[in-house]
Amino acid sequence: MIHNHLLSAAKQVPSDNQNERPTDVISLVVIHNISLPPNIFNNDYIEQFFTNQLDFDIHPYFQTIRNQQVSAHLLIKRDGKILQFVPFNKRAWHAGESNFLGCDNCNDFSIGIELEGADNIIYEKIQYQVLNNTISLLKKHYPITAVVGHNEIAPGRKTDPGDAFDWSKIDEHK
């Protein structure tokens, strides 16, 4: 269920990397992937990064993201657990420079869902199940018209969710 723009099935991990949306219309879901360090799973580094608590000296890769402030609405871990960083009615900082059907700044009107994963590593079956259930719930609460990959709204700049992501397993991809 969704109550007060929060997903009841998700662990709430509030991020300051958010702000007000310029509109109340939420019409897009953007699918991403993330792993920190790249291709390494099952740690708390993503959560620490999205909440500005990551120790950038732990791993050399972290130096490359040191000055970034990002978030997503949701993260679906490899085991299917869901974390929510930003309420759906707020603008999470997930899409960056982006365009969908002639509309710039997709953060303004989208919900960002990160999957713990990498472009070329197969996603877990449970991640697809949780993602489909979540998208279905979101569509019942918001006027969502499309589900796209980050690569579709930022072509040439982003590649996620990557070649390993099987769009045929997503019920709502348009």
Residues shown for the chain:
174
Kindly calculate the radius of gyration of the chain based on its CA atoms and give it in whole angstroms.
Answer: 15
Asked whether the beta carbons of 26 and 143 are under 8 A apart, the reply is: yes
Residue 83: how many other CB atoms lie within 10 Å: 21
114 is catalytic: yes
Candidate list 47, 114, 124, 152, residue with the active-site label: 114
The Cα 37–Cα 99 span in angstroms is 28
Q: Can you say how many angstroms the Cα of residue 130 is from the centroid of all Cα atoms in its chain?
A: 13
| Residues tagged active-site | 114
